[in-house]
Chain A
C-alpha cells in the first residue's frame, strides 16, 4: 500500500524558515516524480513544486520560486521542501504527492497533509 507521511509543519513567524519532510513507502520511490501541493484555508489546491525521480530536475510555481527548495533522498525514500522568507500567504496545508511517473503526469497518491501557519 502506498503511504506518504508529511511532517515538519507548525507555526513560524513571517520571514522565518521551515523544512517539511515526506516519508514514502509501498512503492519504488525513485521511479516517480514527486510534488508538494498546498491548500490555504477555505481555498483550492495550488501546486508548489515538483521534482523528477532522480532528483535532477526541479519545478517551481512562480509564487515560491527563489524562496522554496525541493529535494529528495532516494536512499531514505524521503521528499523535502525547504521554505524560507515565509509570508502570511504561505499559510496552508501542505500535501506531499506522488506522480504516476514523471511530474508531467497525474498524481497517483496524496499524503494527509501538514499545516504551516505563518503568523506573528
Chain B
C-alpha cells in the first residue's frame, strides 16, 4: 500500500488530454514538500518529468504539466502520442515517516 495514491491505469487516444492524480495527506503533499513526477518507459530507468510541482527539466515537452493543490497533485499530458505510453510515478517527502514516498504508479495506454 503506497503512501501516495495513484490510479493504476489511464488511457487515451492520440491527440487527447489525460490527467493522472496523486493523492497524499497532511504529512506529505499537504505540507511544504513538493511533488515530483517520473516517467518510466518499459525496461528503462525512471526519468524526471516534473519537479517542484510544476517545473519541467530541459528537454521535456510542454505537453507535460504538473499542478498541486492542498493534499493532492496532478500530471496532465496533452496531445497524447504513442511514445507517451509508459508508467508514471508521483513522489514527495513524508514528515511523519521521515522518508521519501512514491505513488504506486499509473500505466498510461495510448489507444
CA distance A107 to B51 in the complex (A): 8
Chain A residues with CB under 8 A of B100: 35, 37, 47, 50, 59, 103
Establish whether residues B93 and A107, one from each chain, have CB atoms under 8 Å apart when the complex forms. Answer: no
Chain A residues with CB under 8 A of B99: 47, 50, 59-61
A44 contacts B by Cβ under 8 Å: yes
Q: What DSSP secondary structure best describes chain A's contact surface?
A: strand
A67 contacts B by Cβ under 8 Å: no
Establish whether residues A105 and B34, one from each chain, have CB atoms under 8 Å apart when the complex forms. Answer: yes
Measured CB to CB, the nearest residue on chain B to A60 is: B99
How many residue pairs link A and B with beta carbons under 8 A? The number is 63
Q: A104-B33, A104-B93 known; A47 and B101 CB under 8 Å?
A: yes
Question: Per-residue 0/1 for A101-114: is the Cβ within 8 Å of any B Cβ (1 yes, 0 no)?
Answer: 00111111111110
A83 contacts B by Cβ under 8 Å: no
CB distance from A67 to the nearest CB of B (A): 15
Contact of A44 among B47, B97, B104 (CB under 8 A): B104
CA distance A103 to B91 in the complex (A): 12
Interface residues of B (CB under 8 A from A): 2, 33-34, 36, 38, 40, 45-48, 51-52, 87, 89, 91, 93, 97-105
Interface residues of A (CB under 8 A from B): 35, 37, 44-47, 50, 59-62, 95, 100, 103-113
Add 10 more A-B contacts to A104-B93, A107-B36, A108-B48 (CB < 8 A).
Answer: A44-B89, A46-B102, A59-B100, A60-B99, A104-B33, A106-B36, A106-B48, A106-B52, A108-B51, A110-B45
